[in-house]
Amino acid sequence: MSDQISIWPLAAVLISLIGAIPILLSDRRPNLRESWTMLIAFGKVIIVASMLPSVLAGGGFEFVIAEVIPGVPLALRVDAMGMFFALVASILWFFTSLYSIGYMRALNEHAQTRYYASFAVAISATLGVAFSANLLTLYLFYEMLSLSTYPLVTHEQNAEARKSGRKYLTYILGTSIALALPAMLIVYSLTGTLDFKIGGVLAGSGASPQLLALVLVLFLFGFAKSGLMPFHGWLPAAMVAPTPVSAFLHGVAVVKVGVFSILRVIFHIFGPEQLLAVNLGWVICTLASTTILVASLVALTQDNLKRRLAYSTIGQLSYMILGAGMLSAAGMTGGLLHIAMHAFGKITLFFCAGAIYVAAGKKYISHMDGLGRRMPITYLAFMFGAISIIGMPPLGGFISKWNLVIGAVNSDQLILLVVLLTSSLLNAAYFLPFVYRGFFAKASDPVFEEGIKEAPMFCLVPLSVTAFASLALFFYPDIFLRLAQMALSN
Amino acid sequence: MSASNLHVYVMAVPLLTAFFVNLLGRVSNSWVAPLVCGSLSISSVAALVLMGRVIASGGFSYTVGNWTPPFGIELVVDHLSALMLVLISVVALFASISALKSVEQELPGREHLFFTLFLILVAGLMGLVLTGDAFNLYVLLEITSITTYGLIAMGKGRAPLASFNYIIMGSIGACFYLLGVGYLYLMTGTLNMADIARILPTIDGAAAVATAFAFMLVGLWVKMALFPLHGWLPNAYSLAPTGASLIVAPLMTKVSIYLMIRVMFSIFSIDYLFLQHPQVQSGIVWVAALAIVSASALALAQKDLKRMLTYIIIAEVGYMVGGVWLANGTGMTGAVLHIVNDALMTLCLFLAAAAIYYRSGSLEFNSLQGIYRKMPITMAAFTVGAFAMIGVPPTAGFFSKWYLILGGIEAGHWEYVVALLFSSLVNAVLFFRIIEIGYFYKDGEHHGHETLNEAPLLMQAPLVISAVALIVIGLGSGPLVETIIKLAVPVGF
């Protein structure tokens, strides 16, 4: 089945961008405003899901927005890889919107209109990245995401939030302008195109291996949203944002846009064969492995729950990059699949952290002993998320990590196997004691024994759903697995 | 209007209206607004029609008073000059609408004087882009300069001093240019550009021609404030009355770039410019890169919005000079596209600055705290202008920067590429500093809504339109380049 011209990809991207306008206009009427948010979120899931059957059948959708540069239009294209990411992002945005209502109202946060409007623009940008037909369009939406999430990071408007906002932009905007933009221009001047093609566009461009290596490194660091060390510092700093932002943007959308962009470049600009031919996979694997191990070790030392989750995210993101860097079918599938598996797991963990903050006002792990007895559902959900991220059955994370392990074995890189297993142990070490102490340790604060209850329903339902989804993905990974496999082959 | 001399009307309407503004404005101030806006609207429409005609049937030349060149003055209408005419007339129209309010506030009772100079300046700029005569170009350059001196000197405080500085530097620049023209006249015996170009290859006297070229080039560099010849610009532009900087800032440096292109390619040949002296060509790109980096660094040190913008203008001059001298078609395309984009970005930002100044009376960073809640529409437009300056797609600024950087890569001038990227990063820092002050500089307590205090509609309308134009032109930059700019680039690329 060939691609068909269709307005639907544009609609999927624009619905929340245009939806930001009624949200802004309903400033004084919170219930109406949140109705808009939910309506848009629901519409978005429907539009994305409606395109799923034909993508699964091997088709695609295309839409050209504008011809801006010879050979490089602003254009959207829905293929298996984009559909994979869009599905994850739009489903999780729906639950995050629900959760936001519970969280923001329970804490009586200020500037909620700005919050919801920025969120709507951010999800538009995320889907834009997913559906970009070429690198220029991807770059456009990548920048749009950086700019629209800045007000969310700076939400608190105190000195710390402003400082974090500056750090956020310095890392993200700075690397994209200074590294990714020139890399993109070099690719364009070599090939005259920026389209994503299976097999890559750089193959046969006659570029020297040194130049290819330079471009690859520029891209790897240029898309700093992926948190590849040493450009990871923005992510822990961004934890100053309200928890739904950390959950969705810094657990799912923003960080995975970074990974997705890198995977796009590896799969569809360079092409795995080209990278194998010039033997550049080890560059990717080395950078990713280092990040995995260092981030996991740092996570162990963090007492602030959200910061621990942030370092955990940095490590897990590099799993996906590592998988791609293996350049074997199983490794690349596992890397892509981990985008979805980690998303459902990590968003659950963040939702739980937020629920704990809403219910008990606690941010530090050392103050949370015994809290699990008062908030069993939250803690149970946390455990599900944690096990998924560690990569144990029967949760979704096992599937992606299993593929990664096979990929490592297939590519004869036993050292990568060691990295993966060590990191899983470290994951267990920084998650499980927290759950255990929640249920069984002596309460660190006497109020835990009486006054604390579970967070509001608006918080509790989404986190239960995503935890359950993590479980379900173990038994029914078919759709995501299929899409991931389709993304890598004709 | 007869079809063939439409371009004369474009220029003549503001020139003639200038006198009526002066006469009738003395009778009643209410004459000023309709005369100014009316004449510039006519010019804009005529320029657009002219543009359409040039796209459809190509350029032409016109002899004023039927004196045939090389004796008479020749006007040249091609893709590039038609594009510049549209740009000048539209920018002038937008600037004048906003300037009506700010002049009313800052120079009460002197509106007719201000707008007399304003219109003569606009007519002079239009003449500059039309003329095909090297000496006539000098005369028009002086007309625009003298009106600018006057406009700047109408400002408060140290503005007359800044204007005086500008007079000295501007006169030196004009003398240099005139000396260059004198040398060429000695060598060739003609002042018509096409005529000079025809005679030059047939004579020897390489040293004299090179001297002439150097004098003309340096003279124009002073006029366009290419670093390190920029000293006069920051004070002159930031101390000028708001209404004056609205027209001068977006157009003067850009028209000077146009003049450089015109002199380079209408008088001299690509072979002479780029191939015979490659070290000169590559040296100038280095100078441009240095200009970009230095001016950007200086912009970081400013504590006032308008002064900061003046240093950005100086950095942007480096963008375009570098683009022209990269000696390839991509760089040249980028430079011409950037003339259009930079004029509109600067216009947008200065319109926003004018609106803020109208309400708050200060553009110091400290006084901008919480400005977003008081003037949401103004600041939204400002943000679009800021994104364009940083080069965020899909605003127009991204696409010209794209061609410029690509040209740098193709030419192997990596210093220029690095300078452009550095400048983009600096712009990001500069503008996000303001966005942070304006939006987030208040602790996160549950503040109420501060009272709205938006600028008057006459200042907001051109601002919003220019901000929207930045996005529309960005999205339309493909067709813009294909239908106009590719053809505006001098033949030979």
Q: Using only C-alpha atoms, what is the Rg of chain B?
A: 22
State the best of B372, B392, B421 to mutate against chain A, taking most chain A CBs within 10 Å: B392
Tokens of B98: 């906003």
DSSP string, A97-152: HHHHHHHHHHTT-S-HHHHHHHHHHHHHHHHHHHHBSBHHHHHHHHHHHHHHHHHH
Distance separating alpha carbons of residues B113 and A208, to the nearest angstrom? 64
Cα A207 to Cα A186, A202, A215, B391, distances in angstroms: 10, 8, 10, 28
Distance separating alpha carbons of residues A153 and B436, to the nearest angstrom? 12
B391 closest CA partner among B477, B285, B480, B465: B477
Q: Is B439 on the interface with A (CB under 8 A)?
A: yes
Contacts of A436 (CB under 8 A, 6+ apart): none
Query: In the prediction, which pLDDT does B446 show?
Result: 42
Q: Is A39 on the interface with B (CB under 8 A)?
A: no
**Interchain pair A155, B444: CB under 8 A:** yes
Chain B residues with CB-CB distance to A158 below 8 A: 443-444
Residue in A74, A108, A181 closest to B394 by CB: A74
Q: Is B441 on the interface with A (CB under 8 A)?
A: yes
Q: Does residue A101 register a pLDDT over 60?
A: yes
The answer to whether A370 and A443 have CB atoms below 8 angstroms apart is yes
Place of tokens 């950005």: B312
**Interchain pair A108, B399: CB under 8 A:** no
Distance separating alpha carbons of residues B37 and B207, to the nearest angstrom? 49
B62-96 per-residue burial string, b: 16 or more CB within 10 A, e: under 16? bebeeeebbeebbbbbbbbbbbbbbbbbbbbbbbb
Burial of A39 per CB tally in 10 Å (0-12, 13-18, 19+): middle
The answer to whether B344 and B470 have CB atoms below 8 angstroms apart is yes
Residue in A66, A140, A177 closest to B428 by CB: A177
Place of tokens 């660094």: B297
Query: In the prediction, which pLDDT does B390 show?
Result: 92
What is the per-residue pLDDT across A459-476, written as a single tens digit (0 to 9) for each? 788 888 888 888 888 888
This complex has an ipTM of: 0.87
Cα A218 to Cα A288, B462, B488, distances in angstroms: 15, 40, 35
Q: In one letter, which amino acid is B216?
A: M
Query: In the prediction, which pLDDT does B444 show?
Result: 39
The answer to whether B388 and B470 have CB atoms below 8 angstroms apart is yes
Distance separating alpha carbons of residues A341 and A177, to the nearest angstrom? 30
Chain B residues with CB-CB distance to A151 below 8 A: 439-440
Residue A273, number of CB atoms within 10 A of its CB: 11
Place of tokens 């109208």: B358
Cα A463 to Cα A92, A351, A399, A451, A467, distances in angstroms: 11, 6, 21, 22, 6
What is the per-residue pLDDT across A170-203, written as a single tens digit (0 to 9) for each? 999 999 999 999 999 999 988 888 888 887 888 7
Cα A132 to Cα A63, A138, A419, B387, distances in angstroms: 10, 5, 33, 21
The SS3 of residue A477 is coil
**Residues 393-412 (B) with a CB less than 8 A from some CB of A:** 393-394, 399, 402, 405-406, 409-410
The strand order across the sheet containing A60-69 reads A3-5, A60-69, A72-78
Length in residues, chain A: 490
Q: Using only C-alpha atoms, what is the Rg of chain A?
A: 21
> How much of chain A exceeds pLDDT 70, in percent?
98
Distance separating alpha carbons of residues B444 and A159, to the nearest angstrom? 10
Chain B residues with CB-CB distance to A73 below 8 A: 478
Residue B227, number of CB atoms within 10 A of its CB: 24
Distance separating alpha carbons of residues B391 and B319, to the nearest angstrom? 13
The SS3 of residue A302 is coil
Give Dmax (Cα) for chain B: 78
The DSSP symbol for B391 reads T
State chain A's mean pLDDT as an integer. 86
Query: How far is CA B118 from its chain centroid?
Result: 15
Residue in A68, A143, A174 closest to B475 by CB: A68
Q: Does residue A129 register a pLDDT over 90?
A: yes
Per-residue pLDDT of chain B in tens (493 residues, 90 and over written 9) = 445 678 888 888 999 999 998 888 888 888 888 999 999 999 999 999 999 888 888 878 877 777 776 677 888 888 899 999 999 999 999 999 999 989 888 888 888 899 999 999 999 999 999 988 889 999 999 999 999 999 999 988 888 999 999 999 999 999 999 999 999 998 888 888 888 888 888 887 788 888 898 999 999 999 998 888 888 889 888 888 998 999 999 999 999 999 999 888 888 877 777 777 888 888 999 999 999 999 999 999 998 999 999 999 999 999 999 999 988 888 999 999 999 999 999 999 999 999 999 888 888 888 888 788 788 889 999 999 999 999 998 899 999 999 999 999 988 899 999 999 999 999 999 999 898 888 887 643 444 455 677 888 888 899 999 999 999 999 988 888 888 888 888 766 6
Chain A residues with CB-CB distance to B442 below 8 A: 157
Q: Is B157 on the interface with A (CB under 8 A)?
A: no
**Residues 161-220 (B) with a CB less than 8 A from some CB of A:** none
Chain B residues with CB-CB distance to A65 below 8 A: 475
Measured between CA atoms, the residue of chain B closest to residue A136 is B393
The SS3 of residue B227 is coil
Q: Is B445 on the interface with A (CB under 8 A)?
A: yes
Average pLDDT over residues A65-79: 88
Average pLDDT over residues A375-397: 87
Measured between CA atoms, the residue of chain B closest to residue A64 is B475
**Host H or E run for residue B99:** helix B79-106
The SS3 of residue A3 is strand
Cα A73 to Cα A66, A69, A82, A124, B477, distances in angstroms: 6, 6, 18, 19, 11
* CA geometry: angle B446, B451, B452, nearest 5 deg: 120
Measured between CA atoms, the residue of chain A closest to residue B407 is A189
The answer to whether B356 and B378 have CB atoms below 8 angstroms apart is yes
CA dihedral B468, B473, B476, B482 (to 10 degrees): 170
Residue ranges of E strands in A225-362:
none
Distance separating alpha carbons of residues B180 and B213, to the nearest angstrom? 6
The answer to whether B410 and B328 have CB atoms below 8 angstroms apart is yes
Q: At what angle do helices B329-360 and B376-390 cross, to 10 degrees?
A: 160
Measured between CA atoms, the residue of chain A closest to residue B422 is A178
Chain B residues with CB-CB distance to A108 below 8 A: 446
Distance separating alpha carbons of residues A375 and A439, to the nearest angstrom? 9
